[in-house]
Amino acid sequence: MKIRPRFVLFFFVLLLLVICVQYIKGHSSVVMEYPAPNSQLETAPTEINITFKEKIKRAQASLEVVDNKGQTMTSNKAQISDDQQKIRLELPTLPDGMYYVHYYVVLFNDGHSVKGSYRFQIDSTLLFKQIGDNNLCIPISYQQETLQLYDLKEKEWFIYLMRFIYYTGVSLIVGWVFWWRIVQGYSTELKKKYISYGIIIQIHHLIGLFLMIIMQLNITTIFNNSGNLLINSTFDLMWYASLVISLIGFVCLFRKKWFDLIWMFLILVLNGYSFAFETPSLLIISHSALLFAFSIWAGRLLFILSFWRKHQLFIHSFSSSFSKYSFWCIIVLLFTGFFEAIVYLSNTLESLNNWLFYLLCKLLAVIAIIATEKVIRSKL
């Protein structure tokens, strides 16, 4: 099947905006790690201690130390402090060598996962071996370290893939429901196809929602713990509520205008990750407005791409309706992005760089949207 350039551009726009949304979600970071990453210690540490900015869930935290061969150095369980912001692991006496720390926690307030991996060395002695004919010496642990880092990056990419599937699903279904009120005045044939495509988009959204729930709950740890761990915070309840509303949508969407409006509102609000902050109401409104503006664009572009060939007359009519919303959508995208960047990021130099990078991504996304719009208008 031939891949059309406009489809590629459409999904490029989706990817850019999803990156923007996800990039600012790294609001929780590690405050302190002991031993420090890449440190060289003269004596073996008695424990691993990691401190976070926010509270973490007791049941879904893991911390382990492995050697170069991937063997776990202790069977002790990780302990959570009373304030639920620290995780520690007691260690036996470790011999000289390179060790790797792997941790995974889920934030108590908003359910986001924080994971990381770093290494430290006891003593400075490393075994070296000769590589090739160039007399190049590298540590014997180099290969194992590379494999471990590759495995970590591979997992991170899988998480981003799940988030991409989910947020594209949310954006498309909200936009598709929004434009249904315009499509209702079109031909019966087009309306039937529109609803059929809507069901496919709902399935896409439901799959993404299942993936996000599995990721947020760290489903692999559930079987090792009691069943009441499925709900540990308000954010967990939000995911389950989103799931229920999504399932109801399969039966009730595209029937009554009032239900469609309520359904869109609930999906947008429940999607919010901003319940963890001191001023949640403003952030919920901002994030919901950002997602809603993008959904209007996404739904419109998908409609044109889906009915481009056989319904040119309706495409012209649809484009004139969209022109009323396009300017305000761009304003909302820029304003909410600027607002959320200020709220989430602190005033450190690193955060300033992140803030500038986020604004650059937002600018590229808006440019991509405008370019897509011009391409479509030139074809009409």
Tens of pLDDT along 167-181?
889 989 999 999 998
212-226, 294-308, 310-324, range with greatest mean pLDDT: 294-308
How many CB atoms lie under 10 A from the CB of residue 27?
20
Structural domain boundaries enclosing 60: 31-152
Q: What is the mean pLDDT of the chain?
A: 73
Per-residue burial over 5-24, b = 16 or more CB atoms within 10 Å of its CB, e = otherwise:
eeeebbeebbebbbbbbeeb
68-82, 150-164, 213-227, 282-296, range with greatest mean pLDDT: 68-82
| 212 has a pLDDT exceeding 70 | yes
Q: Are residues 252 and 321 in the same domain?
A: yes
pLDDT score at 198: 93
Q: Give the number of residues written for the chain.
A: 380
Q: Are residues 220 and 369 in the same domain?
A: yes
Residue 33: beta bridge partners? 50
> Cα separation of 302 and 168, whole Å?
11
Q: Are residues 202 and 330 in the same domain?
A: yes
Identify which of 105, 115, 55 has the alpha carbon closest to the alpha carbon of residue 81: 55
| 258 has a pLDDT exceeding 90 | yes
Q: Token match 């890449």: residue?
A: 38
Residue 80 lies in a domain: yes
Q: Token match 């305000």: residue?
A: 328
Q: Are residues 212 and 95 in the same domain?
A: no
pLDDT score at 223: 37
Q: Are residues 358 and 273 in the same domain?
A: yes
How many CB atoms lie under 10 A from the CB of residue 81?
14
Q: Which is higher by pLDDT, 300 or 374?
A: 300
Q: What contacts 136, CB < 8 A, 6 or more positions away?
A: 130
pLDDT of 268-301, one tens digit each? 888 755 444 444 567 677 778 888 888 888 888 8
Q: Are residues 22 and 69 in the same domain?
A: no
pLDDT of 18-38, one tens digit each? 554 444 444 446 788 888 887
Q: Are residues 15 and 143 in the same domain?
A: no
Q: Are residues 326 and 281 in the same domain?
A: yes
Q: How many domains does the chain have?
A: 2
Q: Token match 């459409």: residue?
A: 10
| 245 has a pLDDT exceeding 90 | yes
Q: What is the pTM of this model?
A: 0.62
pLDDT score at 138: 38
What Å distances lie between residue 47 and 75, 76, 111, CA to CA? 13, 11, 27
Residue 159 lies in a domain: no
Q: What contacts 189, CB < 8 A, 6 or more positions away?
A: none
| 195 has a pLDDT exceeding 50 | yes
- Under a CB-based contact definition with an 8 Å cutoff, are residues 80 and 120 in contact? no
Amino acid code (one letter) for 158: F
Lowest mean pLDDT segment, chosen from 45-54, 95-104, 224-233: 224-233
Q: Are residues 347 and 253 in the same domain?
A: yes
Q: Are residues 312 and 353 in the same domain?
A: yes
pLDDT score at 177: 95
Q: Are residues 240 and 308 in the same domain?
A: yes
